[in-house]
């Protein structure tokens, strides 16, 4: 998936000279996760460069550049480091078109790795997507595989408004299904690792059904798509697994069509439970599919605690927890 993200950058930098890429360790070294490797060598220092460690400076400058007419695609090294930039994201990038009535806009992409699974403790594991989905004016994206990562990142860079692009870091090197004690499966053995060369895009606001099924709908995104599929496999429940791909705008039609068919619904995310994006999904499903529901909607999520370092795998909402929820919902 790292290669797909790198490729998306290169495709857009080639197509559009207003695309500039910067962030901490992003230039010469190519990023701590190597997602921008080779871009500076290929496109030069004026197109891809290192920044000082100042998230508010990175995003603040990107807002100014985007208003000018460039298309900055910046990296925040870990989503956990995003908070100094939050004012620039929420008060500035997200509102610039609105408050200036279109006089200025902010077509920028802010990439950041999210999620746990690398023993990163509370400062390298967070999933702050709900802090973005709650903000009017932001598009929030989280791919689950290399094909989507490239196609969605291209759409994000092409979008004329700010896009938060969340990359599940546990997926960088393989389709992690939550079984942390088995060997890492490389992307090369996954069907969605076949990434076409050159330009293509995956539209923002379009979910994908990863496994069709008739008995229960599982809504997930990012890493949890693979974990949910593993749980479905383990239980043998005929579940339909939806990969949201973009949280805002939300593909509500796919969700409601599915739940109307299955009559049951589980929402899965790695982020903490309370006021998480799952709460929004749950509210929408009950509003639009209440009379189809045969069981209460369940949420399987991270617990309402900071991400605990050595307890990582006791905390992570793995396939066993999802399996239990699947069985509960089917028995209801």
Partner 1 sequence: MARAKSRDEEGVSGSSVSPRLTMPGPAFRPGDRPDFSEVDTFAPGACRRPQVNEPAESMSELATGLVRVLDDEGRASGPWDPHLDAPTLRAGLRAMMLTREFDRQMMIDQRQSKASFYMQCTGEEAIACAFHSALRPGDMNFPTYRQQGLLVAAGYPLELMMSQVYSNETDPLRGRQMPVFYSAREYGFFSISGNLATQFVQGVGWAMACALRGESSIAASWIGDGATSETDFFSALVMASTYRAPVILNVVNNQWAISTSESVARGLAPTFAARGRGFGIASLRVDGNDYLAVHGAAAWAAERARTNGGPTLIEWVTYRAAAHSSSDDPSGYRPGDEAAAWPFGDPIERLTRHLLRTGGANEADVEALREEVVRDVRAAQVEAQSHGTLKQGPAPSPREIFEDVFKEMPESLASQEREAGY
* Residue numbers annotated as active site: 124
- Choose between 60 and 143: whose C-beta lies nearer to partner 1: 60
CA distance 290 to 250: 19
- Choose between 71 and 269: whose C-beta lies nearer to partner 1: 71
Residues in contact with partner 1, shown as a per-residue x/- string from 143 to 172 under the rule CB under 8 A: -----------------xx-----------
**Does 69 help bind partner 1 (rule: CB under 8 A)?**
yes
**Does 323 help bind partner 1 (rule: CB under 8 A)?**
no
Q: List the interface residues with partner 1, window 221-250 (CB under 8 A).
A: 248-250
**Does 205 help bind partner 1 (rule: CB under 8 A)?**
yes
Contact 39, 6 (CB under 8 A): yes
Q: Which residues contact 182 (CB under 8 A, 6 or more apart)?
A: none
Binding residue for partner 1 (CB under 8 A) from 41, 91, 122, 123?
A: 91
**Does 24 help bind partner 1 (rule: CB under 8 A)?**
no
Q: For strand 265-272 and strand 163-168, is the pairing parallel, antiparallel, or unpaired?
A: unpaired
CA distance 277 to 132: 10
- Choose between 66 and 79: whose C-beta lies nearer to partner 1: 66
CA distance 119 to 181: 13
Q: For strand 139-141 and strand 19-23, is the pairing parallel, antiparallel, or unpaired?
A: unpaired
- Choose between 139 and 235: whose C-beta lies nearer to partner 1: 139
CA distance 23 to 58: 7
- Measured from the CB of residue 159, what is the shortest distance to partner 1 in angstroms? 8
Q: Where are the beta strands (DSSP E) in the chain?
A: 19-23, 48-50, 71-75, 109-114, 139-141, 163-168, 208-211, 216-220, 239-243, 246-248, 265-272, 298-302
- Residues binding partner 1 (CB under 8 A): 20, 46, 51-52, 54, 56-57, 60-70, 84, 87-88, 91-92, 96-105, 136-137, 139, 160-161, 205, 248-250, 252
């Amino acid at each position: 998936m790292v290669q797909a993200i790198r490729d998306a950058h290169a495709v857009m930098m080639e197509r559009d000279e207003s695309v500039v890429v910067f962030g901490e360790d992003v230039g010469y070294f190519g990023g701590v996760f190597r997602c921008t490797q080779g871009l500076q060598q290929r496109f030069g220092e004026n197109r891809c460069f290192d920044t000082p460690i100042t998230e508010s400076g990175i995003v603040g400058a990107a807002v100014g550049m985007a208003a000018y007419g460039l298309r900055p695609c910046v990296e925040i090294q870990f989503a956990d480091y995003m908070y100094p930039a939050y004012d620039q994201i929420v008060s500035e990038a997200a509102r610039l078109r609105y408050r200036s009535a279109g006089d200025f806009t902010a077509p920028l992409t802010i990439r950041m790795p999210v999620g746990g699974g690398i023993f990163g403790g509370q400062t390298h594991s967070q999933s702050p997507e709900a802090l973005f989905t709650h903000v009017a004016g932001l598009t929030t994206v989280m791919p689950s595989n290399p094909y989507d990562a490239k196609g969605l990142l291209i759409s994000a860079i092409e979008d004329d408004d700010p896009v938060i692009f969340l990359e599940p870091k546990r997926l960088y090197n393989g389709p992690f299904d939550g079984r942390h004690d088995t060997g890492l499966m490389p992307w090369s053995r996954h069907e969605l690792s076949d990434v076409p060369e050159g330009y293509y895009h995956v539209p923002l606001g379009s979910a994908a059904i990863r496994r069709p099924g008739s008995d229960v709908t599982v809504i997930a995104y990012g890493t949890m798509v693979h974990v949910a599929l593993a749980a479905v496999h383990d239980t043998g429940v005929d579940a339909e697994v939806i990969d949201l791909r973009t949280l805002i705008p939300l593909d509500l039609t796919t969700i409601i069509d599915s739940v109307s068919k299955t009559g049951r619904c589980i929402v899965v995310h790695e982020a903490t439970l309370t006021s998480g994006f799952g709460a929004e999904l749950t509210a929408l499903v009950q509003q639009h599919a209440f009379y189809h529901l045969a069981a209460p909607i369940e949420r399987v999520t991270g617990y309402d605690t900071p991400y605990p370092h050595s307890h990582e795998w006791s905390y992570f909402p793995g396939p066993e927890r999802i399996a239990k929820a699947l069985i509960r919902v089917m028995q209801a």
